[in-house]
Amino acid sequence: MHTMHFEPAIDPLQPPTALGWHFSFVQGQLLLPQDESLTMAPSAAQVWADLAESRHFLGRLDGLDCWALKLPQAPTELRAVPLRAAMMQMPAALSGVAGRAAQVLEWDRTHRFCGVCGTATELQPGERARRCPACGHSAYPRLSPAMMALVWRRDRGQPELLLARAPHFVAGMFSALAGFVEAGESLEDCVKREVAEEVGLQVKNLRYYGSQSWPFPNSLMLAFTAEWAGGEIVPQPGEIEEAHWYPLDALPKIPPRFSISGHLIRDTAAELAAG
């Protein structure tokens, strides 16, 4: 299978490519072909440029220019699809650029005016920034780091995973614990605090697993495994509906591999099963 290569850039590269990837959004939803049997494909460079309310160069994917565009409405030949659903249909590289496009457009939308003095800001060449011409304050795209922790233990020698569900999960879905990093907090401190807050447990032997950009709207998910060190499960009211220990051969419905939680749970279960 061909692996698509993405080369990030801020200013348009020269010469421009005749075809390009145009990640066009209307009210936060990605535009895809009306015919659901068709997938997103490169298009002529100027097809949507004249309609765009804002337009940002992202780089090149497999040698073709990539643009993020915000349109006032969807052209008749396209349909608006929630970003998460659209990304699940795409190859990983294309999905990643779609997420980047969404975050750049959201940053642009929320920083049109200076947060210090209220003056209209201006895009800066050579960097992803909006600068205030009055006071000089610059606003860059911000990421919100969030930890994910998959807690495990051995009960009578048999490994078990702690999985929980939040009120907003789809019916029957369980996943690892997750929460945002607070100011002044390390990732390790965040893992221990969130696990204690959400289920009342203590953990040890933290092990970094991996990360994933999560453009809903601008998170960076950092996943860990952690070994149970003590405590009984006490779900946090309003945050956790259920939380249980599950043996590896009786796991509940878990997220797909589209999300890092799906990878984390499956890979950790396989590793524990292998001893």
At 131-180, the pLDDT tens digits run: 999 999 999 999 999 999 999 999 888 999 999 999 999 999 999 999 99
Cβ count within 10 A of residue 74: 18
Using CB atoms within 10 Å of the CB of residue 89, give its burial: 0 to 12 exposed, 13 to 18 middle, 19+ buried: middle
Q: Which of 110, 127, 154 is the last residue of a domain?
A: 110
Measured in residues, the chain has a length of 275
Range of the domain at 200: 144-273
Q: Tell me, what amino acid is at 232? A: E
Q: Which of 110, 134, 154 is the last residue of a domain?
A: 110
First to last CA, the chain: 32
pLDDT value of residue 39:
86
Q: What is the CATH number of the domain that holds 78?
A: 3.90.79.20
Does 116 reside within a domain?
no
pLDDT value of residue 45:
67
Does 222 reside within a domain?
yes
pLDDT value of residue 77:
87
Residue 15: pLDDT band by 50, 70, 90 thresholds?
very high
Does 127 reside within a domain?
no
Do both 103 and 220 map to the same domain?
no
Domain count, the chain: 2
Do both 165 and 257 map to the same domain?
yes
- Count of alpha carbons within 13 angstroms of residue 6, beta-carbon side: 20
Q: What percent of the chain has pLDDT over 70?
A: 98
Do both 170 and 268 map to the same domain?
yes
The dihedral over CA atoms of 68, 74, 77, 83, expressed in degrees to the nearest 10, equals 60
Token match 């396989």: residue?
Answer: 270
Does 181 reside within a domain?
yes
Q: What is the CATH number of the domain that holds 166?
A: 3.90.79.10
31-81 per-position pLDDT tens digit = 999 988 888 999 886 667 778 999 999 999 999 999 999 999 998 889 999
Do both 62 and 10 map to the same domain?
yes
Do both 253 and 165 map to the same domain?
yes
Do both 152 and 235 map to the same domain?
yes
Question: What rounded mean pLDDT belongs to the chain?
Answer: 94
Q: Tell me, what amino acid is at 60? A: R
Question: Does the pLDDT at position 191 exceed 90?
Answer: yes
